[in-house]
A and B are shown apart, each in its own frame.
Chain A
Amino acid sequence: METNILFTHKDLVEKGKSGDRSSQYQLYELYVDAMYNVSMRMLRTKEDAEDVVQDSFVEAFKNLSSFRYESTFGSWLKRIVINKSINHLKLKRVPITAIDDHEFHLNDETVEEKETDYDIKKIKKVIEQLPLGYKQIINLYLIEGYDHVEISDIMNITVSTSKSQYHRAKKKLIEMIKEL
Chain B
Amino acid sequence: MDNFEKYIAENKDSFNEHKADRKKLWSNIEQELDKKPAPKVFKLWKSPIMKVAASIFIVLGLFSVISFFMNGGINPGQNDIVNQELEEIDMYYSSMVTQQVQLVKLNTKLSQEDKDEFLSFMDELDTEYKELRIEMKENLDNELVLAAIVNNYKKRIELIEKLLERINNSKNIEDGNGYIL
Residues of A that sit less than 8 Å from B by CB? 21, 24-25, 28-29, 32-37, 40-41, 49-50, 53-54, 57-58, 61-62, 111, 113, 115, 118, 120-121, 123-124, 142-143, 145, 170, 174
User: A32, A49, A121, A174: which has the most chain B beta carbons within 10 Å?
Assistant: A32
- Nearest residue (CB) in A for B3 is A113
Q: Can you give 27 contacting A-B residue pairs, CB < 8 Å?
A: A21-B30, A21-B33, A25-B26, A28-B26, A28-B29, A32-B20, A32-B22, A33-B18, A34-B16, A36-B18, A37-B17, A37-B18, A49-B18, A50-B24, A53-B20, A57-B29, A58-B29, A58-B32, A61-B33, A113-B2, A118-B3, A118-B7, A120-B14, A124-B14, A124-B15, A143-B15, A145-B9
Instruction: Compute how far the CA of A115 lies from the CA of B24 in the bound complex, rounded to whole angstroms.
Output: 45
CB of B21 within 8 Å of the partner chain:
yes
| 7 closest cross-chain pairs (CB), A and B | A36-B20, A37-B16, A58-B32, A120-B11, A118-B7, A57-B29, A40-B18
Question: What 1/0 flags go to B55-85 for Cβ under 8 Å of A?
Answer: 0000000000000000000000000000000
Q: With both chains docked as a complex, state the minimum distance between the C-beta of B131 and any C-beta of chain A, in angstroms.
A: 66
Chain B interface residue count: which class? 20 to 34
Instruction: Compute how far the CA of A34 lies from the CA of B20 in the bound complex, rounded to whole angstroms.
Output: 9
Q: Taking chain B's interface residues, is the majority helix, strand, or loop, or is none over half, making it mixed?
A: helix
Contact A32:B25 (CB < 8 A) given known A37-B17, A124-B14:
yes
Q: Is the CB of B8 within 8 A of A143?
A: yes
Q: Is the CB of B4 within 8 A of A118?
A: yes
CB of B28 within 8 Å of the partner chain:
yes
Residues of chain A within 8 A (CB-CB) of B5 are: 142
Partner of A54, one of B7, B14, B28: B28
